[in-house]
Amino acid sequence: MNEYMNPDRLNMISEPQAVYESRLQHFWNSLNCPLTFDTTSGEKIQILSPGIWNFEKGPDFLNAKIRSGSAILTGSVEIHYASMDWKRHAHHKDPLYEDLLLHIFCHDDWRESPGSPGRFQILIPDTSLAPSAEKLRAGDCSFFFNRSNLRNLENFFVDAGWERMEEKARMQMEYALKHGMDYAFLNAVFAAFGYKTNKDAFQELFRRFMKYSEAERRQYPDAILWGESTLLPDKTLKAYDDEMHEFIVNTWSRWGLLRPAQAGELKWNRSSLRPLNFPERRIAALAALLQNDALSFKNIEEHFLRLEPDAFLLYLGEIFKSGKSLWCHYVSFNTRRKTPALLCGNSFVHELTVNAIIPSLLAFDKLRKTEHLAKIRSLWRLIPQDQDNRIIANALHKWGIADTKLSSHLKKRAATSQGIIQIYRKYCETACTDCNACILNQSLFPRKTI
């Protein structure tokens, strides 16, 4: 019997399969490692780390670490209700699942040859799951975080956050040196508009957009974006209200003037997205900003130099809000909102400032040696953190400071939030959340050697 299975915990569940998977994911995320499991082949393996819960495309957990005999292995983990869900979900056709280490399921219905995917398979009966999920177990460094002075800890995360900004700026510098600053800035903006869910699709859309001449991009930015997105519906269909149908017909007419070459279909993902963040609304926002020349890096830089940081942040909020677009009233071509909503609200403007504008200003400052570092950093420290972030939530649980006044304070600003992400990714994720293998943990609590 596996170590975690205790007759007192057995509880028959009657939820649908998707709920079983969700409960099993929470269970796996809260494992008190190291923990030993029996595989379906009868082998015993020790879980050293359950891995990083992945909320993007690909396996459910990344960088899990196990011990099999004398070997330490790392890889991804996929969790299903039934083992054949691997085929039902078409994971066998997806290269993101190629390095699967563990396949975990509640019910084994695999009837094909070869056997179930993954190097190891673990059957966890649904009756063994606790009625409610536990929180992620705190790591060794929770002692350090819980006993540190607030000011010192804030500075620690601010410095780590700035390190993250420097890394983003280095990437911008590489693009700028190859293609120019305007190209590098616009590329970062498109990526930011895609979020993580559609980042690849928006970057491909950017590459297609930049193949047109500068004159075409200035005159027809909306038609190019909609046409190349492959989202524009058939204009002969009458499945839309009059206002949207007119928009579709007019956009097709403008798109046809360019005589574009046939491009492959872009893959858009709407899973886990709020309707207000659907790709159609993001494309509409980009089109509006490009038509108003709001995405000129020269204009952005000139206003940054002329205004104080707080005034500049207000200026960004004004130019990015795009409040007069038709798409303020829609979330998709056939879904109209009862009340209009801005295409770019304050929270998105703040994210865009962190992920595209500040790295671009910092890269330009380094390339031209304009020495505006202090002003850029002042702007960065002003930006609030408006939205919850799963990486930050996992990090704060791992460090034992979730739901504390300290965590509330650290989550208020983008500067410290970026620092949390930097520390978690650089140390926790690199060590597969195995505290014994974490360089930061070892520096805080050095082990005695004999």
Kindly state the helix (H) or strand (E) to which residue 142 belongs, with its residue range: helix 142-147
Closest CA to 364 of 194, 168, 160: 168
- Section 406-420 average pLDDT: 91
- pLDDT of 2 above 60: no
- pLDDT of 105 above 60: yes
Q: With contact defined as beta carbons under 8 Å apart, do 139 and 32 qualify?
A: no
pLDDT band at 3 (very low <50, low <70, confident <90, very high): very low
- Which range in 71-85, 202-216, 436-450 is most confidently predicted, on average pLDDT? 202-216
Q: What is the pLDDT of residue 159?
A: 95
Q: What percent of the chain has pLDDT over 70?
A: 90
Q: pLDDT tens-digit profile of 206-254?
A: 999 999 999 999 999 999 999 999 999 998 887 889 999 999 999 999 9
Q: pLDDT tens-digit profile of 11-42?
A: 333 344 566 677 788 888 888 888 899 888 88
pLDDT band at 127 (very low <50, low <70, confident <90, very high): very low
Q: What is the pLDDT of residue 440?
A: 83
Place of tokens 């403007």: 349
What is the SS3 assignment for 37? strand
- Tell me how far apart the terminal alpha carbons of the chain are, to the nearest angstrom: 37
Q: pLDDT tens-digit profile of 147-177?
A: 888 889 999 999 999 999 999 999 999 999 9
Give the least confident one: 65-79, 131-145, 185-199, 387-401.
131-145
Closest CA to 172 of 154, 192, 157: 192
CA distance 442 to 401: 20
Q: What percent of the chain has pLDDT over 90?
A: 45
Q: What is the pLDDT of residue 413?
A: 93
Contacts of 172 (CB under 8 A, 6+ apart): 184, 185, 188, 359, 360, 362, 363
Q: With contact defined as beta carbons under 8 Å apart, do 100 and 82 qualify?
A: no
Instruction: Quote the pTM value.
Output: 0.79
Q: Which amino acid is at 206?
A: F
More confident residue, 362 or 443: 362
Q: pLDDT tens-digit profile of 293-318?
A: 888 999 999 999 999 999 999 999 98
| Per-position b or e across 214-244, b if 16+ CB within 10 A of its CB | eebbeebbbbbbbbbbebbbeeeeeebeeeb
pLDDT band at 119 (very low <50, low <70, confident <90, very high): confident
More confident residue, 32 or 425: 425
Neighbouring-strand partners of residue 105? 80, 123
| Phi then psi dihedrals of residue 307, to 5 deg | -100, 155
Give the least confident one: 106-120, 166-180, 219-233, 326-340.
106-120
